[in-house]
Every structure is written in C-alpha cells, then in structure tokens.
Amino acid sequence: MMNLGEVTYGFYMPRVNLMGAGSAKTVGEQAKKFGKKALIVTDAFLAKNGMADQIVANVVMAGLEAVVYPGAEPNPTDKNVHDGFKALKDNECDVIISLGGGSSHDTAKGIGIIAGNGGSIRDYEGLDKMTQPMMPLIAVNTTAGTASEMTRFCIITNTDTHVKMAIVDWQCTPNISINDPLMMMDMPASLTAATGMDALTHAIEAYVSTQATPVTDASALMAIQLISKNLRQAVANGKNFTARDNMAYAEFLAGMAFNNASLGYVHAMAHQLGGFYNLPHGVCNAILLPHVEEFNLIACPDRFVEIAKALGENISGLTTRDAADVVIASIRQLSKDVGIPSNLTELGVKAEDLKIMAENAMKDACSLTNPRSAKVEDIVKIFQKALVCQYKDMSKITDVSKAAHAHGRHGADGISGIDELSQESA
C-alpha cells in the first residue's frame, strides 16, 4: 500500500516513432501490420493538394485499400468525428491513418475512440474514460507544433456549448507516429509561426507544470533551445531543411514533455478562444503565453532562469527574479519576429466574453497543473491584458532584458520583414 504523499508518475508515447527525411514513405508497410483497409483522415486542403494522394499510393503499394475522409476542420468538432466514424463503418476500414496537423490527428483519435468504445465522443471528455483500446492509428505529421501525432490528448469542440473538450487518455495514443520534415517544407510562413509558437508553449508550460519530472524537464529544455534557434529561420525560409528538421524534433520533444507533465492556464484559456471564436490555436497560445507566464513567475522563478538560458538569453549578473523577467520579453520578441498578432483584439475577441471564457478555463483539465493557482477574476485579468497589449508596450517591462542584451546574447538573431504573416489555423 502506498503511503500518504507518495506519487506515481507515468510516461506515455507511441510504441514506434519514425523521424527523418523520407520516413513518411513507410506508412503503407506500417499500416499493413494492423489491417487491410485504411481510412485516411485529413483536411480538405491536403486532400486537394496531392499530399493525401501520396499516402494513398504508399498504402496501395503495400497491398492495402484506402479511403480518404477529408472532414478534419480547424478546431475539429464532434460532428467531424461522428461523420468520420460513419465513413469508417460504411467503408469497413480496420486501420486509421491521420495526415496533417493537430486537427487531423485529433479527428482521427476521436474516430478511433468511438470505433473501439462506442457511444458519443462527448462521453470521453476528461481523464482516462476509455474502457477499450481505440482502433489502430498511424499519425503522419505535416506541421511542427501540436505534437498530437504522439500524445494522449484529443481536443474536440462540443458544437452545442462551443467549448473545447479535453480528452486525456493513454489509450488514445497513436500506435505509430511519423515526422518527416519533407512533408513540412511547403507550410506557409504564418502556419510555421503559429505551430512553432504552439510547440514553445507546450515546452514552457510542461517545464513549469506541477507534474514536471527530470525526464520531462530534459525534453522541454531541449525543445525550447531548438525552437529559439530554428523557428525564425523556418519562418523566413520554408525550404531551409535544417531548420525544418530541427523544428520537427523540437515539437516532438515538446510533446514528450507536455504529454506527461501536462500543461497550464495558457492552454486552458486558448481552448476557450478556439471554441468560442474558432481561432487558430497556435496564435492564441502565442498571444497568451507571456501574460500567463508573467502571472506564474513568483511561483517558480528558478525554473524561469533555466528557460531564459534555453532561449539563448545571457542572464549573467542578473538576480533570479530579473532573469525570470527576461523570459517574458524574449517570448514577446520571438512572437513579434515571426509575425504573431500583438493582442486578442486583432483576432476579434470581445471583452464581454471574457468572464464566461475564464469560468470555462478554470474547468479545463489543463488548468490543474499550472504552477500558480488562480481565481476566475485572475484569469479575466490575464485575458484583459492579452486583449489590448501592443508590442510597443514591451518597453515598459523589458528594461531588465535590455540590460541583459547589453551583456551580449547568444542564439538566433531576429529576422525583419515578416510582419505581414496571415493568420492560419494551427
């Protein structure tokens, strides 16, 4: 029997994880291990641009049949899931392949959950509600951000309440993940920026989580370091293979971290923005991240010192608290450099919705592991700051950061001329 105060930490990830250029070409041979007819879950764009056809060809070459379901929408809904399940049943498929980013992977997970357990996807909101394994799933990733291809998280919007349901269950972890940087080379700059900032948010929230362990810490810090050194380059030149490859590893490492340490208020709040306004998840995270972490600073300042180092900031000679403050400025500078909007007003968020979103955020599973406890009023205040903050306001809070830069900074320099990025779904 466990004694009072004892805690058991788990570590979850797919059984097989394939990385590197050309790894996506193995999808057919991998699928053959699980079934004879694959449902390929993707979005309308990838179904039309030829990428889904490449996966179909690989599957057919391996001797399987394939059917494409192109119904994964940004911020996927319960309707997307149930429509996909109908396609799965109607075509008698016995293995699922997801192709895309988080939207495709989460839709596929939802389909697999119902296929293995029955009922409605709404039945599985919360922690470990599944009683049976889901249908075999191979996740082929095309973005460097969500890490849904390798996590036990599945985020689906309830179309009645417009609230994002967080399904967290080890049994909805894909059987195999595939991260081929060649599949990411054509991502537009705006999507590269949004998904990259999503990955940074995963790493930082996992590192300051109350469930962090030495294993998740190592993954999170390396992810932060890789993102700091490579995201600007990947945004500036999508054909930069080294930057794309490093970002693929970064998002995977960040996934390893948050899949096991969980997240915090950034994601709890971003889920509400996505549910209410159907906004791109990565952009919401990027805007909220500095404000939430500014709130969190007093809870674990020593952890923010390590984040500052991973971000490439020179904090020599600074106090612990001043070094922690540098993190907030560094996050904002990175967001500005890659073209993230400065505030939520630019995304159309309205002040009158903040209270209900704050109340819902407090109920989100991601809020449980935030390092500093908040009340609804605190979350409203964070939303209010994110609603109006301008990049020009950074000077009011970055005097310490400027002092640090005067001592020198190592890591990637900012890139100019990319402020016009459009908003893409993450």
Is it true that domain 189-406 has CATH number 3.10.180.10? no
pTM of the model: 0.91
What confidence tier does 353 reach under pLDDT thresholds 50, 70, 90? very high
> Has residue 284 got a pLDDT over 90?
yes
What confidence tier does 419 reach under pLDDT thresholds 50, 70, 90? very low
Q: What are phi and psi of 223, to 5 degrees?
A: -60, -45
Average pLDDT over residues 316-339: 96
Residue 256's SS3 state is helix
53 contacts: CB under 8 Å, gap ≥ 6: none
d(CA 280, CA 274): 7
What confidence tier does 299 reach under pLDDT thresholds 50, 70, 90? very high
Average pLDDT over residues 100-119: 97
Give per-residue burial for 181-219: e unless 16+ CB within 10 Å, then b: bbbbeebebbbbbbbbbbbbbbbbbbbbbebbbeebbeb
Tell me the pLDDT tens digit for each residue of 132-162. Answer: 999 999 999 999 999 999 999 999 999 999 9
% of the chain surpassing 70 pLDDT:
91
Tell me the pLDDT tens digit for each residue of 65-98. Answer: 999 999 999 999 999 999 999 999 999 999 999 9
Angle between helices 354-363 and 265-277 (to 10 degrees): 130
Hey, where are the domains in the chain?
A: 16-183, 189-406
Give me the count of residues in the chain: 426
d(CA 192, CA 180): 15
Residue 154 near residue 84 (C-beta atoms within 8 A):
no
Topology given in CATH for the domain delimited by 16-183: Rossmann fold (3.40.50)
d(CA 372, CA 208): 10
pLDDT for 394 equals 60
d(CA 96, CA 399): 52
